[in-house]
Structure 1
Amino acid sequence: MIAIAILAAGRGTRMKSDLPKVLHELGGRTLVERVLQSCQEIEISRRLVIVGYRSELVKESLIEAQEKTKDREFPPLEFVEQTEQLGTGHAIQQLLPHLEGFQGDLLVLNGDVPLLRAETIKQLMAVHKQHQNSATILTANLPDPQGYGRVFTDSQNLVQQIIEDRDCTQAQKQNHRINAGIYCFHWPDLEKILPDLKADNDQKEYYLTDTVSSLSPVMAVDVEDYQEILGINDRKHLATTSDILQTRIKDKWLRAGVTLIDPHSITIDDTVELQADVVIEPQTHLRGKTSIASRSRIGPGSLIENSQIGENVTVLYSVISDSIVAENSRIGPYAHLRGHAQIGANCRVGNFVELKNAQIGDRTNIAHLSYLGDATLGEKVNIGAGTITANYDGKNKHKTQIGSGTKIGSNSVLVAPITLGENVTVAAGSVVTEEVPNDCLVIARSRQVVKPGWKLKEPEK
């Protein structure tokens, strides 16, 4: 049996934020979500999150994230309060009443170390079980280990001593093997000595590393890529880890047959799914639960968030959020699709068109300078330039329905709620306020009046 405990109680004062540090986002997920995600390939019996600063906010965020994902087969999250932040040892002491009688292993993770790979955790757990260790700790050799606790081992990787950076002598600081803050304990062994931890250090904190001297055997496992264990303490660290994550994501998609033109100007969340032969142009950003099918070309200068893009779609200088675009459609330049817009196959949504909560049938064209909100359009509809659905009466939103084959002349206003039938033609410049049956011509404008020989009178001097 394996229980995991995530340390997520701190504020993170160096982030200069009222938001708990573990709730800052990286690549579309909060830091603590990423830590939970890294455990999804091991069999877990308990999941405990140690919370403190703004604990209700952390709980709400994690519960909401859990409901949106597919990890419901995992045990439910358990939240443990740490009202005072007196060090890592003090945090784990809070588990004593919650894990009473537990006979398995405890994996301890930090909520601000978001780049840890699932493979690394599996390797740590495998070594722990193979050698039947009382404790196994993750270590790394850093080029610059300043600020990290140093780990001293023998030739068999058995840990002899762990010393915090601030407590190291100058000679000890020459050791570049650092403690990553990731541990696996045999809980019954740890449970016996936890109550005896003392705060005999400069910070007057209870260090979890102090348990090492009372446990045996304790083994170190080096992580292959030290970047995995980089922690986040400030905004600079957050930016650094973002760069590392983006490199991972882009390398993955380049190997999978996706073309990234100027990768340095592109950002992609690791929640995004891409198929082979997708082309991503410069200055394009893909976020959230977005998927893009084969042979689509996105960008340059586009933002797509929580949307599904079909095959062979082009999106140029446009913003698409919470929407669906079917195959062979063209979007942009400078289009904005939002609020659950759905675009059919072989459509054109062109220059400076905004669609909000609009369902557009196949082979429909909305070429330029239009706003359609809360509208349903059939197939082969043509929307002339400057067409607007007046969907808001100052209090409520109303629906517009337009049948297949209908043509809306330029500079027309459709005042909702309204229904236009199939094969309707609306004359340019019309303001349509009443229902229109099939196969009609609608002219809803004042008759043009021409007065020959008339001119504006000159003002008197």
Structure 2
Amino acid sequence: MLAVAVLAAGKGTRMKSDLPKVLQPLAGATLVERVLGSCRALDPQRQILIVGHQAERVEQSLSQHGGLEFVLQQPQNGTGHAVQQLLAPLADFEGELLVLNGDVPLLREETITALLERHRTSQAAVTLLTARLDDPTGYGRVFADASGHVSAIVEHRDCSEEQRANNLTNAGIYCFNWSKLAAVLPQLSTDNDQGELYLTDTVAMLSPAMHVEVADADEINGINDRYQLAQCEAVIQQRLRRHWMAEGVTFVDPESCTLSDGTRFGRDVVVEPQCHFRGNTNVGRGCRIGPGSFLENASVGEEVEVLYSVVRDAVVADGCTIGPYAQLRPGTELARDCRIGNFVEIKKSQIAAGSKVNHLSYIGDAQLGENVNVGAGTITANYDGVNKHRTVIGAGSKTGANSVLVAPITLGANVTVGAGSTLTKDVPAGALALGRAKQLIKENWS
């Protein structure tokens, strides 16, 4: 059996944030969500989060993650003290305990799987993850022989100058035989520079102790401040872009674009510079996105072009063209082959196939039929100061430039609205609607 414990009690003082450190966002997910996700493939029988600072807020943020148990560490007196809090919840547990840190979010599933497999095949009492760093400052040093047997771990602040020359570092990721660990946890001492209970001290008490050296040292990057958060973001973004380029996506300038884990692309998508994808965004085969576009929770069909535009919580069908400088707001649904052009804003509206809103228009709370042509500067006046109202425009209708449709209003099929009209009443199919003031000319006015 396998239990996973995530250490998530720290304050994260150096983040200088009102948000707990483990809830800091990284490519669309919190640090602790990424840590939990890294061991999902192991299918653990128990998942325990050791919380402390803003414990209720951390628990609430993970309320959608089923099967989590929460254990309070109060006060926070080191990693050993944190794991001591498991003695009661795991009193009857027999198996392995995998200990992860809530601020080490870059671990790959295959790395943790390899750690667990090595632990089991070697029948070790403890197996820890290690990495060799060019600059190991701040990391605990691991002392081991050529066969991988560990004799000791010494925290950086407690190392002698000679010990600090060792660049094999402790990643803070452990797999324990729980029964053996539980027997030695009460023996931990605060006799160290910080006056805390170190989980690392258990390694010297357990035999055999083994280590697995990670190939990519980036995986063990911990986050203590904003700079380290940015460094981890860069690593994840590089991973995501490499993955999608391997799947047939072209990034013209990869470093200028950012993705979320929930972004999905079809083949032969071209992403121009300075494009950003957030949430659960799906981009279909053959699309061209950007430059300078932002998509969040967007569903984009095939062969779509988006140029210098924002698409949020919207659905765009095949063959549409959007931009430049258009905004599709939440609730927008475009059918096939629509054209949304310069400085157009669409909000909570359904636009049928082949319709065009080309310039300088606002379409809100509206339903447009097929092949509607919206003239430049057309506005659906949907708000009366209290409530929002619907505008319906039938198939084949056209609005002239600078038209205002005061909702609630319905225009039938094949209606023509004269330029500069303000309409407040329904218009039957096939009609011409005019609603403009009489032009006055006063000669010699100057």
Please indicate the TM-score interval, normalised by the length of the shorter structure: over 0.9
Give 1:52 deviation, angstroms: 1.2
Distance in 1 (alpha carbons) for counterparts of 2:38 and 2:15: 23
1:125-144 alignment to 2 at 5 Å?
125-144=116-135
CA contact (8 A) 1:51 1:80 kept: yes
For 2:44, give the aligned amino acid: I
Matched residue, 1:12: 12
8 Å CA contact 1:329, 1:347 repeated in 2: yes
Instruction: Check if 1:301 corresponds to 2:288.
Output: no
Residues 1:190 and 2:192 are matched in the alignment: no
- In 1, distance between residues paired with 2:408 and 2:70? 49
Q: Is the 8 A contact 1:11 1:19 kept in 2?
A: no
Distance in 1, matches of 2:343 and 2:242, equals: 34
Cross-structure match for 1:156: 147
How far apart, in 2, do the equivalents of 1:421 and 1:100 lie? 73
Does residue 259 of structure 1 match 2:258? no
Aligned to 2:59: 59
Superposed counterparts of 1:415-434, under 5 Å? 415-434=406-425
| Whole-angstrom CA distance in 1 between matches of 2:379 and 2:104 | 49
| Alignment deviations for residues 131-173 of structure 1 (CA, whole Å, 9 cap, x no partner) | 2221111111111111000111122211110110000111111
| Structure 1 counterpart of 2:60, one-letter code | E
Q: Deviations over 1:237-291 (max 9, x none)?
A: 1111111111111111121111110112111222211111000001111111111
Name the amino acid aligned to 1:63.
S
The residue aligned with 1:384 is 375
Report the AA paired with residue 378 of structure 1. G
Structure 1 residue aligned with 2:310, among 319, 326, 349?
Answer: 319
CA distance in 2, matches of 1:5, 1:435: 64
User: What is the CA–CA distance in structure 2 between the aligned matches of 1:134 and 1:257, rounded to whole Å?
Assistant: 45
User: 1:9 corresponds to which letter in structure 2?
Assistant: A
Structure-2 separation of matches of 1:37 and 1:17: 24
Displacement of 1:436: 2.1
SS at match of 1:171: helix
Mapped pair 1:447 → 2:438: yes
Instruction: Indicate conservation of the 8 Å contact 1:293/1:312, yes or no.
Output: yes
Q: Give the TM-score, by structure 2 length.
A: 0.97
What is the CA-CA distance between 1:449 and the residue it aligns to?
4.0
Residue 450 of structure 1: CA displacement?
4.4
TM-superposed CA distance for 1:305, in Å, is 1.0
| C-alpha distance in structure 2 between counterparts of 1:191 and 1:201, whole Å | 21
1:229 maps onto 2:220 in alignment = yes
Deviates further, 135-144 or 392-401? 392-401
Matches within 5 A, 1:219-298: 219-298=210-289
Q: Deviations over 1:82-107 (max 9, x none)?
A: 12111101111111221120112111
TM-score (structure 1 length as normaliser): 0.94
Distance in 1 (CA, whole Å) between partners of 2:165 and 2:339 is 64
Q: How does 1:27-66 map to 2 (within 5 A)?
A: 27-64=27-64, 66=65
Residue in structure 1 matching 2:162, options 171, 184, 206:
171
Give the partner amino acid of 1:415: V
**Which of 353, 357, 373 in structure 2 is aligned with 1:366?**
357
Distance in structure 1 (CA, Å) of the matches to 2:316 and 2:288: 13
Query: Which residue does 1:105 correspond to in 2?
Result: 96
**Structure 1 vs Structure 2 CA RMSD:** 1.3
Instruction: Return 5+ residue gaps in structure 2 as ranges.
Output: none
Asked if 1:394 corresponds to 2:385, the answer is yes
Asked whether the 8 Å contact 1:399–1:416 carries over to 2, the reply is yes
SS at match of 2:111: helix
Give, as a single letter, the amino acid of the residue that structure 1 aligns with 2:61: S
Q: Which deviates more, 244-253 or 306-315?
A: 244-253
SS in 1 for 2:235: helix
Map of 1:409 onto structure 2: 400
Structure 1 segments unaligned to the other structure (5+ residues): 67-74
